[in-house]
Amino acid sequence: MPATVVLGCQFGDEGKGKIIDFLGERADVVVRFQGGANAGHTVQVGDELFAFHLMPSGILRPRTLNVIAGGVVVEPGQLLAEIDEVEARGHPAKNLRISDRAHVVMPYHKILDGLEEGLKGSLAAGSTRRGIAPVFEDKVGKWGLRMCDLVDPDALRERLSLVVPIKQRLIQAYGGTDVLDLEAIYTEYALYGKRLAPFVTDTSVLLDGMLKRRKRVLFEGAQGTLLCIDHGIYPYGTSSNCTAGAAATGAGVSPRYLDTILGVAKAFTSRVGAGPFPTEQQDDVATHLRETGGGEYGTTTHRPRRVGWIDLVILRAAVRVNGLTGLAVTKLDVLGGLDRIRVCTAYRHHGTTVKEFPASTKVLAEAEPVYRDFKGWPELPEDDWIRIAKKGPRALPRPVHRYLAFLESALKVRVDIASVGRSRAATMALHR
Ligand code: GDP
């Protein structure tokens, strides 16, 4: 703090929600700056479990301001459902602010998402069908509708009258049969606009003012570095920029403010969707990684995640592209019970050693991981891990220390936080 970015180093679902919640205690503002409802954060407070898609994680803390910034694409029905849910469970949403520049996901985006994905063949990334790629296509193509239009019935009607007939032609050209009803869309979205209007403001001005007053701002990344549209495995990723620079562009604040950039990495690798995955496992190790410690199933899609060993070629790219000042390593408990823990330090490709993440999906698909093996640690019930977390880093099993020390020396970045279970209490700051 004062300006801390927390982002994923791998393929999303690294446990960012919990780390953000852990750090959020000290934050005055939590900001979502990219992505949309295709993201999913799980936050557990006591026995209560919350799964957010659009809502910033700080919403559960009554004194924290929560900002959905301009780089986010907003699905209004989904956001209203999340507002209603947190309010129904006793957490008022009055501290929510939404950027007037954030783009809005419309029903035709979702229809086009399904149609485009069906036509993409081997380029299909395994879309969440939330309309994310089409809404970003519209943003860049300048067909988009922003929050400032949604809350203004005249602007909404004018935009829709222009865009809906074009989208209808596109749906037909893609072989779709859906019929868009302009009037019905207008009525539904005007109502969303009316309900969301009290939350909509210029969040760039708001955040700039808070940063100037040295307020503590936590920028909460969604997805992960390897899903980034620019630096991820193209085209098998998401449609937004998920790396540290996007915190500044997405939130509309100067990059000069960003002083701590914390990368969250799982102690292994997992992903949903298609694309090459050099350290992927299929056997008993895969079952162990997928089923232990709460399970590897997507928060948004509930799809079983593909799993494999930790990959330092990936993490080296995450450290570089984001300029990480520290790492949070999650799910160390999940590795418990394995005799041997493998760390991929490089790839072998056609007789050469590859240490930096390759751009070509062909090279990646052909790459053979080079492993360094470590002794495992015992599988423990979550209560035991919580007891260890309470005692502090010294109580961690020795092999965990060795594993983390190796990550630090290989990646040249400090591990600041270790997470050993789902709950907030199973998290510890490391001062090793
Ligand atoms: P995010 O998108 O990066 O916030 O990740 P998600 O919240 O979608 O997925 C992470 C899942 O792992 C959630 O179910 C968390 O409760 C869980 N989780 C986070 N940290 C740990 C950990 O250290 N150990 C275990 N077993 N689960 C964790």
pLDDT, tens digit (0-9, with 9 covering 90-100), for 273-314? 888 999 999 999 999 999 886 788 866 667 788 999 999 999
Number of H helices, E strands in the chain: 14, 20
- State yes or no: pLDDT of 1 exceeds 70: no
Q: In whole numbers, what is the pLDDT of the chain averaged over residues?
A: 94
**Cα dist from 390 to 140, 164, 385, 394, whole Å:** 48, 56, 9, 10
Q: Which among 52, 291, 330 is the best mutation to test ligand 1's pocket, defined by most ligand atoms within 8 Å of the CB?
A: 330
- Per-residue confidence (pLDDT) for residue 121, from 0 to 100: 87
Residue-wise pLDDT for 78-95, tens only, equals 999 999 999 999 999 999
Query: Can you read off the two tokens belonging to residue 174?
Result: 């893609």
C-beta of 271 in contact with ligand 1 (< 6 A): no
Residue-wise pLDDT for 20-76, tens only, equals 888 878 899 999 999 999 887 777 777 788 888 999 988 888 899 999 999 999 999
* Ligand 1 atom closest to 224 (CA): 3
15 CA to centre of ligand 1 in angstroms:
4
**Stated length of the chain:** 432
Whether 70 contacts 101, CB under 8 Å: yes
**Looking at ligand 1, which residue's alpha carbon is closest to its atom 14?**
42
- Per-residue confidence (pLDDT) for residue 300, from 0 to 100: 62
Q: Over 31-84, what HEC string results?
A: EECCECCCCCEEEEECCEEEEECCCCHHHHCCCCEEEECCCEEECHHHHHHHHH
- Per-residue confidence (pLDDT) for residue 432, from 0 to 100: 56
Q: Which among 218, 264, 331 is the best mutation to test ligand 1's pocket, defined by most ligand atoms within 8 Å of the CB?
A: 331
- What is the percent of the chain with per-residue pLDDT over 90, rounded to a whole number? 82
- Per-residue confidence (pLDDT) for residue 81, from 0 to 100: 96
C-beta of 106 in contact with ligand 1 (< 6 A): no
Mean pLDDT highest for which of 47-51, 125-129, 175-179?
Answer: 175-179
* Ligand 1 atom closest to 330 (CA): 23
- Per-residue confidence (pLDDT) for residue 198, from 0 to 100: 98
Residue-wise pLDDT for 210-268, tens only, equals 999 999 999 999 999 999 999 999 999 999 999 999 999 999 999 999 999 999 999 99
- Per-residue confidence (pLDDT) for residue 301, from 0 to 100: 66
At 424, the pLDDT band (50, 70, 90 cuts) reads confident
C-beta of 330 in contact with ligand 1 (< 6 A): yes
Whether 78 contacts 37, CB under 8 Å: yes
Token look-up 């599988």 returns 379
